[in-house]
Amino acid sequence: MLMEMSSIKSNNPQFATLFTAMECVLNGENAIYCSSELTSGLRASHELRKYEVKSSEELKKKLGDDWFYQNIFAPNAKLTNEFADSVRQGEGGKTLVITPAPLKVSGWKQPEYNGFWTELLHSKRIESVRFNEDWQYSNGCTTEFVEAHAAEVHTLDVKREIITRDAAIELITAAIKKFADLDTSLLQQNLDRLVATRTLRTTATVQLDGSRTKLSRRR
């Protein structure tokens, strides 16, 4: 049953356990995943500038984990859960909606959380990803957009309108320019991945059209 849900590329045994628990809730159904800033994003970026540091990790070191939780994670988690609730209500309360905010695993850091949600997006059990406002400033949200795009999962905004790859590229580019004085390396990495997919598809299309032209000439 589990392997039907995900290929589970990671060797982390906790992933398999969590997917089993999630399958108990999904019970064969697909769900909507809600993406919203948690440990990085617009709120965090403003605080980084305020305290003259470059990244969320530096902010934690400077002010402490408790401060970071109370001033960054907790308010973001509240908005994330409220967003998920609004999506659920918008679907008439009948569609399963997944929000990442409540998940807490001892010993996990951001790479593990990102890895787990990435596995979920590729599991064929997510019908669409809804992105909260200002998602383009978040390392996690932009990663989730790239992975959803790679998994060919629908990506929608708060108004339930499709976010295209090109629109995402524009949004993330603007976000990087806005906070160019901060560490935007992960945003840039995700932007580069999206641009690369556009380039690859354009090249493939040109090659295909060229092959068709050659075939037509032969005929």
Query: 51 has which bridge partners?
Result: none
Tens digit of each residue's pLDDT (9 = 90 or more) over 157-174: 999 999 999 999 999 999
Tens digit of each residue's pLDDT (9 = 90 or more) over 38-97: 999 999 999 999 999 999 999 999 999 999 999 999 999 999 999 999 999 999 988 899
Query: Within 13 Å of residue 83, how many CA atoms lie on the same side as its CB?
Result: 28
Boundaries of every domain in the chain:
2-218
Q: Rounded to two decimals, what is the model's pTM?
A: 0.86
